[in-house]
Amino acid sequence: MRILIIGGGIAGCATALALHKAGFDPVVYEAHPDTAEDLGAFLTLASNGMRALAQIDAAPLVAAAGFPLTRLRVLDASGATVADAPLGEHEHPLTQYRCLRRADLAVALQRETERRGIAIKHAARLHAYGETTAGVTATFTDGSGATGDLLIGADGLDSTVRPLLGTTAIEPRYAGQRVFYGYTTQAAPEDSGHITMIRASGAAFGYACSPEGETFWFARVPGPPAPADEIAATTPGQWRDRLVPLLRPDATPAADIVQATSDQLMVTNACDLPVGIAWRTERALIIGDAAHAASPATGQGASMALEDAVVLAKALRDAPTASAGLIAYERARRPRVEHNILASAQLTAGRRPSPQAASAPNDDLLRQLDWATPLPA
């Protein structure tokens, strides 16, 4: 089965690796001429994301691209520690949380995709999509085209594939927070291996220190979205000068960390998608942020995309037809990822998730991720 994957980022390359392992013939089409990843943002891969990578034999290379986080510490606005506990599956190096730049994760997966002989075609921006009972056709803006048996849209929040599948009215929603990301080597160094979350009065703040002494930090600030022209025109120093006064009233390290940051600072708007949108046709499917983007409060976006890759490959591997595989995939994934959207939205709004959202969905995740185990019927 020849499968066209639109999007060569984290979701697209992980899906290519999983489908290749399952015996399919994936080809990746990336709109940008290079990695297309945001060089400023970083992320944490949770233990579930690392488990998913292990199923496609990519956990060691991703682990090498970041640094482990094995404990979570929570401070209140006074600087007092209100929680300090182990983080995730911390006992094994390949299931520990990892902190790394988003671009580094994307590059690691792209290189592994190419190393395994899977084609990645850059500067291939999707223009149109056609589907018949015999297969699919993708047409790109440069006039080229491709045919296959299935098309997978792994092209992110602003997906080109999503409206082509009949969900034209579905647009990303602003989730109520601007998100700042920054790096500094000038802040007071701390031991590596833990992430500190601060319940500050002006913003939600978190930071972690790499073994090399670099502090990775983020701040989620409630308020109206930043217009695109404001983001483009505002310098890192100007953003820093706006953020520090929000953090300074609290007796925490947050303001000093931001003050010590020079030009390695960026701002984005937190967005998500509503639950219940259409994901598939008979021969096409959207996955990752294209299908179920959540605000960053739960820190699960990349990990959910990696889960998607494994479950999709298993579903297509085990189903009698491609259409049946897409149905099995959606049945397995929708409860879990929509739970994450709702829980993250509640955290973004400053509320604890409801009991229903806070409880783990009964979707037998470990069985879903285990490569040798068929998906539950």
Q: At 343, which CATH number?
A: 3.50.50.60
What's the pLDDT tens digit per position in 129-149?
A: 999 999 999 999 999 999 999
Q: Both 213 and 335 in a single domain?
A: no
pLDDT of residue 361: 38
My answer on whether 351 and 309 are in the same domain is yes
Judgement on whether residues 265 and 187 belong to the same structural domain of the protein: yes
127 and 255 in a common domain: no
CB 68 within 8 A of CB 93: yes
Same domain, 165 and 214: no
pLDDT given for residue 39 in this prediction: 62
For residue 355, what pLDDT is reported? 45
| DSSP assignment letter at 203 | -
Give per-residue pLDDT as tens, 319-364.
999 999 999 999 999 999 999 999 999 988 877 654 444 444 355 8
Half-sphere exposure of 307 (CA within 13 A, CB side): 28
Answer whether residue 370 shows pLDDT above 80: yes
What are the b/e assignments for 100-110, b being 16+ CB within 10 Å?
Answer: bbbbbbbbbbb
Average pLDDT over residues 269-298: 96
Q: What is the CATH number of the domain that holds 220?
A: 3.30.9.30
Percent of the chain with pLDDT over 70: 94
Higher pLDDT, 143 or 36: 143
- pLDDT value of residue 323: 94
Domain containing residue 191: 174-272
Q: Among 252, 272, 292, identify where a domain stops.
A: 272
Domain closes at, from 247, 272, 297: 272
| pLDDT tens digit sequence for 77-115 | 999 999 999 998 988 989 999 999 999 999 999 999 999
Q: What is the pLDDT of residue 193?
A: 94
Give the mean pLDDT of 118-122. Answer: 96
Half-sphere exposure of 219 (CA within 13 A, CB side): 28
Rounded mean pLDDT, 225-241? 96
**Domain count along the chain:** 2
Mean pLDDT of the chain: 92
Task: Tell me: do 181 and 165 sit in the same domain.
Answer: no
Return the pLDDT at 165.
87
In a domain, 266, yes or no: yes
CB 288 within 8 A of CB 267: no
- Cα 148–chain centre separation: 27
Contact yes or no for 160/152 (Cβ under 8 A):
no
**In this structure, what token pair is assigned to residue 144?**
């080229």
Predicted local distance difference test score (pLDDT) of residue 35: 63
Instruction: Answer whether residue 75 is part of any domain.
Output: no
**Residues 164, 58 within the same domain:** yes
Final residue belonging to a domain, choices 212, 245, 272: 272
Query: Is the residue at 71 inside a domain?
Result: no
Q: Is 326 found in the same domain as 194?
A: no
Instruction: Record the tokens describing residue 28, joined without a space.
Output: 């990746």
